[in-house]
Amino acid sequence: MGIEQHKDLININQTLWHQKPLLRKVYTDLYRTMEGYTSQIPGITLELGSGMGSISEVMPHCLRTDLFPFPWLDLIENAYCLSFKDESASNLLMVDVFHHLRYPGTALEEFLRILKPGGRLIMMEPGLSILGQLIYGLLHVEPIGYSKKISWFAPENWRRNDMDYYAAQGNATRIFVQKKYSDKLTNWNIVETKRISALAYAASGGYSGPQLYPTKAYPIIKSLEKYLQIFPALFATRLLVVLEKK
């Protein structure tokens, strides 16, 4: 998939978003979870990769951004080259964006630039428990990328606007759960790394898969999540990461 095909995918997702009320429910809950970790220091709150822009239903003040212009978004932004001033943001939120960053270290440097001290980067990513690996490995088109080397920084001849399509769903788990890159995160306080069962999300089928339970059963599935949460290594399908700038 090329970067322009990603734009086409958003258009397809918009149709599914309006046709699938369960999808709207699960994303609203994800955003509410993330909202609980936001910093209260004064400053801009923004989301990268806003997609359908539904974060505004939970956080109306949040600026919605993506790589392409859509009428429901506020700004066009590139994670490697943000338009915001140094230390102007208090919160930067992302859902399923981090695993699309080919050079996560380069992006994290840019996030540090715009965040105020005490500002937070809040991410929701695929969680690769045993169940998570089955779901994302077998039922999702994007690769997990467990065996691939992570290129932390971009090469010297790379330009920040040289965007291409990249996906490795396992990157957040490798970096923040397995702690293989902890020595590269010294400018951050790790506030939270939480593996979440999120069965309601996984069984909703997301944008690309079939819905495995009726929308009216959502409260029942959410209750079941509380029991699965006891065994995150087995049942987690989401990973919440909260980093705070030192």
d(C-alpha 199, C-alpha 76), whole Å: 32
| Structural domain range at position 122 | 3-245
In this predicted structure, the answer to whether residue 138 has a pLDDT above a threshold of 70 is: yes
Q: Across residues 131-150, what is the average pLDDT?
A: 87
- DSSP string computed for 38-62: ---SSSEEEEES-TT-GGGGT-TTP
Lowest mean pLDDT among 78-82, 177-181, 197-201, 232-236: 177-181
Q: In CATH, what number is assigned to the domain containing residue 75?
A: 3.40.50.150
Average pLDDT rounded to a whole number, residues 153-164: 89
Question: What is the pTM (predicted TM-score) of this model?
Answer: 0.94
Residue 1 in this model has a pLDDT that exceeds 60: no
- Check residues 85 and 17 and name the one with the higher pLDDT: 85
pLDDT digits (tens, 9 = 90+) for 67-106: 988 889 999 999 999 999 999 999 999 999 999 999 999 9
- Determine the straight-line distance between the first and last CA of the chain, rounded to whole angstroms: 37
> Residue 6 above 80 pLDDT?
no
Sign of CA dihedral 246, 176, 242, 233: negative
How many domains does the chain contain in total? 1
Tens-place pLDDT, residues 212-227: 999 999 999 999 999 9
Give the residue-averaged pLDDT of 177-206. Answer: 93
